[in-house]
Structures are given as C-alpha cells and as structure tokens.
Amino acid sequence: MAFIEVFKNWLQVRRDREAEKLPDGYIDIVVLYKKGLVFAKGTGQSITDITAQIGSRVRKPLKVTVSHGTYFVSRGNHQNMVTRRKYQFDLRPMGVERIRVPASCINASLPIPNEKDRFSGVAHVSRNLQRFMEAAEGEDAMVIQAGVWALTDGYSRQRIQATLRTRRVQSVYGIPIPNAADRDDGPAISNRQIDIAKGILDGLRIRNNL
C-alpha cells in the first residue's frame, strides 16, 4: 500500500513539473492529453454532438484549446466524433470542464453513437480534413457531415445519401402503430448540402468523389 502511495505522489510531481514547462497561453488539448496532463471523456448524443468531460491531472491552472480537427476516440463499435467548432477554456487545478460539443461522425460504416456509447482520449484528423473543418465551420451539420465522410471514407454523393436516411415512426392520430416499420422519408443530407460541401472541398483543392 505504501508503495502505491509513493508511486502516485511521484507521478503527480512528474506531471506538475511537465505542466510548469508549458509555454504561456492556450495549449492544444491533444498535446496536453499525450503528455498525460489532462483526461478527455465523452458520451454520445446523436450524429451531431457529444457531451465531453475534460479534466486536469495537474495542480496548476491550464489554458486549453480544442482545435479544428480534434476527434474523440470511440471506446466501442461506433464512430469517432470530430469537433465542428474551436473551443478555448481555462481549466482549474485538478478541475473538470463539461461541454456539449457539436461534432460530426467519422467512419461511416460504423453505427452512429448514442447516449450509451463512450469516448476516451483525443487525437487529430488528417490535415486535409482539418482544413475542411476550418473552412466549413459556419455551415450546418449535414453539410459538414457530407464533407467529412467524403474525406474519411471516400464516399460519393449516392453513398452518403444511402447511408443516412430520415425515418419517421408510423402513427395514427399521433399514436405509434405497434410493430410497424419506420417510414423512410428519403436522404437526410440533401443534394444542395452536398453541393456546398463539394464547393468547399473543391475550393481547397482537396480531391473528393462528391
């Protein structure tokens, strides 16, 4: 038991010393995570966002940047999620910041995460996807989702529209019909939204199949 406490104290001192070496200003969360100075966890919500917890492992304040192209790593058979906005926040010593993060799914062939799915850890997407996320920040979620799948999975327009469908529970006077299959109301991502994503990618001279 004494050895465990000694090891924990040694590890804490080591982390605190590493934090003291950081430059002034905001530091990328992936850098802090790789140094062991923060933890990053999340739970799925939908195809458009996750709930994240960013926690400090050091006894000094940290300034944290979640940059474009940061993704939360899946801990299960579901898609990773890449952030659609840049965040900056101050993290108290040993404190935890909870944020709801607009995000897009990576890995189109895997299930969309829900509230039971977990994420642990953060990483960076490819440079081209990062450039697209920066350029498309002001666009709606489905425009960005189309561009993401075009880059991460090489999907065409037709494949994207076949993958993500709008489904409605069949009902009578607002009462769901038992055992009735959901009605397919067509693609959730329109041609216009895909056109916008393609225009951004083409403008950045990034090859795509849209």
Q: Tokens representing 119? A: 């994420």
Q: Tokens representing 107? A: 């890995």
User: Which pLDDT score, from 0 to 100, does residue 177 have?
Assistant: 47
105: which strand partners? 81
Higher pLDDT pick, 150 / 3: 150
User: Which pLDDT score, from 0 to 100, does residue 11 have?
Assistant: 86
CA torsion 143-149-154-155 (nearest 10°) is -70
The residues spanned by each domain of the chain are: 1-125, 127-210
Question: What is the phi/psi pair of residue 42, to 5°?
Answer: -160, 160
Q: Residue 95: name the closest of 135, 137, 130, 61 by CA.
A: 61
User: Which pLDDT score, from 0 to 100, does residue 185 have?
Assistant: 60
Asked whether the predicted pLDDT for residue 34 surpasses 60, the reply is yes
Q: Tokens representing 62? A: 């940290």
Q: Residue 149: name the closest of 181, 210, 106 by CA.
A: 106
Asked whether the predicted pLDDT for residue 15 surpasses 50, the reply is yes
User: Which pLDDT score, from 0 to 100, does residue 174 have?
Assistant: 45
pTM: predicted TM-score of the whole model, two decimal places: 0.84
Q: Tokens representing 66? A: 């979640």
Percentage of the residues of the chain whose pLDDT score is greater than 70:
90
Q: What tens digit of pLDDT does each residue of 100-142 get?
A: 889 999 988 898 888 888 999 999 999 999 999 999 999 999 9
Residue 129 and residue 206 in contact, taking contact as beta carbons nearer than 8 Å: no
Asked whether the predicted pLDDT for residue 28 surpasses 80, the reply is yes
Mean pLDDT score across all residues of the chain: 88
User: Which pLDDT score, from 0 to 100, does residue 169 have?
Assistant: 45
Asked whether the predicted pLDDT for residue 10 surpasses 50, the reply is yes
Q: What tens digit of pLDDT does each residue of 137-194 get?
A: 999 999 999 999 999 999 999 999 999 877 554 444 445 445 545 555 678 899 999 9
